[in-house]
Amino acid sequence: MKNIPVIRTASVIDAPEVSRLLRSAMLTYCADSGISSSLLEAMTESVDSVADRILRQTCLIAVLDGKIIGTVCIKTVSNPLVYSFSDKTFDFLKTAGPSCYISRFAVTEEYRKTGIGIDLITRAMDYAKSSGSSTVLLHSAASNTKMVDFYAKRGFDLIDSENSRGYMRGLFAGKLIR
C-alpha cells in the first residue's frame, strides 16, 4: 500500500524545512515565470521569518514519510483594499467582502502533478470558508502560465496586474460559494 501524505498545520520546528522547500520551489517558479530570483522576497527570507509567518498565519504543510513536500499559508484579511493598486482592483475589492489571502504556496518538484497542490489549495479554501470569508486573494506572476492555469482551474480569476516589483504580478480572486 502506498503512503498517503498528511496535511497538517505547520509548527515553528517545521520552519527550516519549509524554508528550504520554498527556496527550491521559487527557483522553478522564477524559471517558469521568466523572472529573476532577486525579484522575489521569498528567496531572501530567513528561517526566523518563515517561523514568524507560521506563528502569525495558518500555514499548512503536506508531509509524506516524515518529509515536508508542500506548503501554503493563508491569513484572514480585515481590509482587502490593502491589495488595491488601480481603480479596477479598488472596484473589485470594495465589494469583495470578508477575505483571506494565500501566500507561499509550494510543492517539491518530485510531487508536482500528483494532487498535493490541489489538496493544499482546497484545504486553504476550506479554511477561508470556515473563517467566514467570501473571497480568497493571491498574487502570482501573470507570465507563469502553469500557475495561472492551475489557479483558473480552481476558480480564481485574474482581477488586475501591476509591475511594481519588476515583473508583471497578477492579483487573482476566487469567490467562495456558501
- Whether residue 97 is predicted with pLDDT greater than 90 in this model: the reply is no
Least Cα distance to 59 among 99, 112, 7, 137 occurs for: 7
pTM (predicted TM-score): 0.93
Which residues are within 8 A (CB) of 66 and not within 5 positions of it... i.e. 6 or more apart? Answer: none
β-pairing verdict for 156-162 and 169-175: antiparallel
**The CATH number of the domain where 95 resides is what?**
3.40.630.30
**Residue 178: pLDDT band with limits 50, 70, 90:** low
Over residues 158-174, the pLDDT tens digits come to: 999 999 888 999 999 99
Domain limits at 60? Answer: 6-175
> What element of type H or E holds 29?
helix 15-33
Over residues 106-158, the pLDDT tens digits come to: 999 999 999 999 999 999 999 999 999 999 999 999 999 999 999 999 999 99
Over residues 12-46, the pLDDT tens digits come to: 999 999 999 999 999 999 999 999 988 888 888 99
Q: What pLDDT is stored for residue 140 in this prediction?
A: 95
CA angle centred on 123, ends 131 and 110, rounded to 5°: 150
Q: What pLDDT is stored for residue 1 in this prediction?
A: 39
Give domain status of residue 123, yes or no.
Answer: yes
Which residues are within 8 A (CB) of 137 and not within 5 positions of it... i.e. 6 or more apart? Answer: 77, 80, 83, 96, 99, 100, 101, 102, 171, 172, 173, 174
Q: From CA 35, how far away is CA 167, in angstroms rounded?
A: 7
Give domain status of residue 1, yes or no.
Answer: no
Over residues 45-92, the pLDDT tens digits come to: 999 999 999 999 999 999 999 999 999 999 999 889 988 888 999 999
- Helix (H/G/I), strand (E/B), else coil: 24: helix
Q: What pLDDT is stored for residue 63 in this prediction?
A: 97
Give me 51's grid cell: 517561523
Top-confidence residue, 156 or 96: 156
Number of domains in the chain: 1
Q: What's the N-to-C CA distance of the chain in angstroms? A: 36
Give domain status of residue 133, yes or no.
Answer: yes
> Half-sphere exposure of 102 toward its Cβ, with a 13 Å CA cutoff?
29
SS3 content of the chain, % helix, strand, coil (to 5): 45, 30, 30
Long-range contacts of 41-45 (CB under 8 A, 24+ apart): 42/104, 45/19
Q: What pLDDT is stored for residue 124 in this prediction?
A: 97
